[in-house]
Each structure stands twice: as C-alpha cells, then as structure tokens.
Amino acid sequence: MARIICVAGARPNYMKIKPVMDALERRGAEVFLVHTGQHYDASMNDVFFRDLGIRSPDRYLGSGSGTHAGQTGRVMAAFEPLVDELAPDAVVVVGDINSTLACALVTAKAGPLLAHVEAGLRSRDWSMPEEVNRVATDRVSDYLLAPSPDAAANLRAEGYREDQIHVVGNVMIDTLLANLERARESDVLDRYGLARGGYGLVTLHRPANVDDPDSLRGLLKALGEIAGRCPLLLPVHPRAAERLAELGVPAGIRLVPPAGYLDFIALQDSARLVLTDSGGVQEETTALGVPCVTLRENTERPITVSEGTNVLAGTDPERVLATVNRVLDDPPAPRCPALWDGRASERIAEVLLDGPDAHARLRPTDLGPPGAGAAPHHP
C-alpha cells in the first residue's frame, strides 16, 4: 500500500487537495492530511473544511502568519520531522503558497517522491511571491501535474523531461462540479436580497491591489462607477478589511463578511459578472460560464482568457471601467478548456499509483546551460 502525505495550508489549497485525497484513497492508498496552519481563522479555514467535507487533518503544524521567510521556515522546521516519522512514498503539494514551497523543499531533501498539483502555471511576474513559489516548487518536483496544455508547454520550454509532465486537468473544477448542486441550494441570495443576474461580485486580496492605498483608492473609484450600472457585492477578505474601512467604499458597493465555499460558488454562479484578482476565481467562473474581469496586469491562467470567460483588465481605473462596460454590453460566450471535466483527481491518482517511478530527480546538468532550455532565474 502506498503511503502518501497530502499537504494543505490555506484556503486556496482546500478545494485542490480534497478530490486528490479522495481519489488516492479510493485506489487504496494510505493518505495522511497535513495542515500547515498558514490560514487559521474560522472564516478562511473551518467553514471550508465543513463545506467541503474534508476530514480533520492527521497533523496540524500551526505555522501561523508572519513574513515570507519566517512562515516558510516554520513550516519547514515542523514538516521535516514529520516526513522522517511517517516515511511516505510520496508527498503531494498543491498551488503556490508559502506552505507549498516549504514542504516541497523538505521533501526534495528527505527523499520521497514529490508531486506538484498545478505545475507549470506562470505569470512571469517576479514581483508576485506566488510566482517564485511555483517555479521553485516545480524545480524540485518529480511529478509535474499540469492543469492545461499551456502549463505543460511552459514546463517543456524550461527544459523538464517529458516523462515528468502530466496534463491531468484542473482539480479545482473537480471540487466545483462535485458541489455545484449543493451550492445552488444555498439561500445566500435570499439572505442578501439578490436576484440572479442582478449584481456583480467582487473579490480583492492581492497585496498589489489592497496594500497600496493609492492603488486601492483607484480601484474603488472605478468600482463605484461600475456600481452605478450594476450593483456590486464585495465579500471582504481579512487582508483588505482594514484598508477598506480606512478609505470607505462608494455607494452601490455592498461589503459583506467572507463567504464559505458553497455560498461563494452560489454567488459566482448567479452573478452578472465577477471582478477579481484571484487565480482560482478565474477558473471557477470559466467553468460556470460567468463573465470574469481580472483586476491584474497578468495572469498565470491565460487559458481562462483564450478558452474561457475571463478578460484581463489591468488595474488602471479607466481601463477597468472600459473593460467592464464592454463585458456588460457583450458578455463572452461560455466555454471551458478540455479536461476540466471533474476527473482530474482520478488522472492524478493514476499517475502516482500506476505510473513509472520518476525518482530520477533532475540535476542542474540535465537542464543544460542558461539559455538552452534551463529553468528561468530570478532577474
């Protein structure tokens, strides 16, 4: 029986790790769920475990918040003895948070096989901590589990071996499709007095948007003008709450507490459009066929633009307003990438339990010199 550790640490991880755990256990694997504790408040943690039916973690590392270095170091220090104790055959990490990188580095040095779910996503924006985490995690992984062909193409361009790269589809969509009917039974629209198609949904949490008062003020100005045409609902991320309270929000923008998973899917599903700086929301709106306007200059999920319902607007207030008006006038037609079919986790389990041993980990010489297919270096 294969022994596999699955790691989760923050809200974006929970929807990704649940279907992978289920698929591995259906195939007879012994699965240990490790929660690093990177997100630990009830609104970002407990409600998601309850909504998704995730069992209690086998181990909780309690890393807490802090600087990138401090948080990453605490997770590494707590995870290292656990890997030694459990002696897993493989460790599965998901996404691009600090916990992902921390557990990947420990695993790569300890010896078990390492599988990265969502491998190959690239924004090419080195100011994003997530981009550093993604690239570094891919670099030490044995199994690169890509959600889409463009992600696999990124990996090939960086020189990874073909036998490492597996296009498996999007595990976020596995969770979405498995819970969509339950979400549609939510009474969240009634609670907020909303009608289907009668509002826009907004999420803001990235530091570039919410930590700089000038940037946030500009976005709020644009959102205020949009709200004159389409009322906006903004579930407040803890990161943005204090800034929004300081600046105040224009009329037509309604602030509400953070939503649980099922309520948030219901809100996305019934929205006229969604405005977001979240990568996961770009994917969920594409799967739901709901127009999405991304408030960022780039995206690591370009397939949601080329084969989905996402439009990249940047953060300039005038451009955001013009983009939203265009989308409201002429919404993109619903479409969804191949393999976003609810079976990505089954394909991942097949790779990990039935695939060839990928333990011949890449060495620097395998990638060649810089400029010859080598992984990109931080500038």
**Measured between alpha carbons, how far is 46 from 43 in angstroms, rounded to an integer?**
7
The sheet with strand 253-256 has its strands ordered as 253-256, 232-235, 200-203, 273-276, 292-294, 310-312
Q: How far apart are the first and last CA of the chain?
A: 44
Kindly give, in sequence order, each residue whose CB lies less than 8 Å from that of residue 144, ignoring residues fewer than 6 positions away.
Answer: 116, 119, 120, 138, 152, 155, 160, 164, 165, 166
Find the farthest-apart pair of alpha carbons in the chain and give their distance in angstroms, rounded.
60
Q: By three-state DSSP, how is residue 41 classified?
A: coil
**DSSP 8-state symbol, 251:** T
Judge contact between 237 and 258, C-beta under 8 A. yes
Kindly give, in sequence order, each residue whose CB lies less than 8 Å from that of residue 354, ignoring residues fewer than 6 positions away.
Answer: none
**DSSP 8-state symbol, 332:** P
Question: In 160-178, which positions are buried (b, 16+ CB within 10 angstroms) versus exposed (e)?
Answer: beeebbbbbbbbbbbbbeb
**Catalytic annotation, residues:** 205
Half-sphere exposure of 304 (CA within 13 A, CB side): 29
**Residue 113: closest CA among 132, 88, 147:** 88
